[in-house]
Amino acid sequence: MRAFRDGRVQRAATWLARRHLHRLSSRPLPRAIAPRDLAEAYAVQDAFVAIKARSCGAVAGYKIALTTPQMRAMVGLHESIAGCLHVRQVVGPPAAVRASDYGRLLVEFEIGFRMAADLPRGEGPLSRGQVAHAVGEAMPAFELADDLGADYATLASRGLELAADNAWTEGAVLGEPVRAWRDIDLAGLRGVALVNGRVVGEGRGADAAGHPVAALTWVANHLRGRGRQLRRGDVVITGSLVRSQFPRAGDLLRFDAGALGAVELQVR
């Protein structure tokens, strides 16, 4: 890829890393280093993730973003995008974060999975059944993201940058794992988001690409198409069931995911 030869990928990744490190306000990547297609965007993401790994640890899992046509249209893309989670940014309860550590903290309310076995590499898509068979646990989860104060009115022209920017991912908070998750109707599961005890949104498991396992399967096949795989121990969060929230210092967030249990996050 020409982008590798002329150094554009590394320059773009360094530019993104600097903005997050110093919590600089969001603005478009300079045109000279902006990705020109989705393949370049993921190349930048890989380089950006490698820079983040120096302080945040190795990749410990993945996320899917833009699981609905409406969200994809908002950023001018025709497919969902994936991002990486780092080991030092994936935590369990009790969990707390400082709002001041983010340009603008964004929290989403999701269903997560932890893999119990490696999925095979190879050509051709994996079936939902194959992917589900390799899952060990499910749990309620928060995604933590930082949009650096992005102007959402401009996102229709910045979808490739969103992919390059690791889909704004800054980590996840995982609730207590449920091993008997196959006994739960995940598509029909009702998720309720609360901030300081007040309900701020409700959704169903089907809001995640039709079914959380469908979202997981998309991630598995996205990696497979790039010569990679989901591995034992990897965590995958599958898209928000509820409208994203922008909490402030002092807020207590709770996600009640019915039979999967609940998870809380204190923002300081």
What is the residue extent of each domain of the chain? 61-267
Q: What is the pLDDT of residue 2?
A: 52
Taking only the tens place, the pLDDT of each residue in 131-189 is: 999 999 999 999 999 999 999 888 888 999 999 999 999 999 999 999 999 999 999 99
Here the tokens at position 17 are 């890393």
Give the neighbor-by-neighbor strand order of the sheet with 262-267. Answer: 95-97, 262-267, 252-256, 190-195, 198-204
CB 112 within 8 A of CB 139: yes
Digits of tens for pLDDT over the chain (268 positions)?
454 556 999 999 999 999 999 999 999 999 999 999 999 999 999 999 999 999 999 999 999 999 888 788 888 888 999 999 999 999 999 999 999 999 999 999 999 999 999 999 888 999 999 999 999 999 999 999 999 999 988 888 899 999 999 999 999 999 999 999 999 999 999 999 999 999 999 999 999 999 999 999 999 999 999 999 999 999 999 999 999 999 999 999 999 999 999 999 999 9
What's the confidence (pLDDT) of residue 143? 97
Question: Mean pLDDT across the chain, nearest whole number?
Answer: 95
pTM higher than the cut 0.85: yes
Taking CA atoms, 59 is separated from 89, 225, 247, in Å, by: 10, 18, 26
CA–CA separation, 238 vs 65, rounded Å? 8
Architecture (CATH level 2) of domain 61-267:
Alpha-Beta Complex (3.90)
* Whole-number pLDDT of residue 73: 84
Query: Both tokens of residue 77?
Result: 């893309």
Q: Positive or negative CA dihedral for 233, 238, 243, 246?
A: positive
Q: Tokens 């995982």 belong to which residue? A: 174
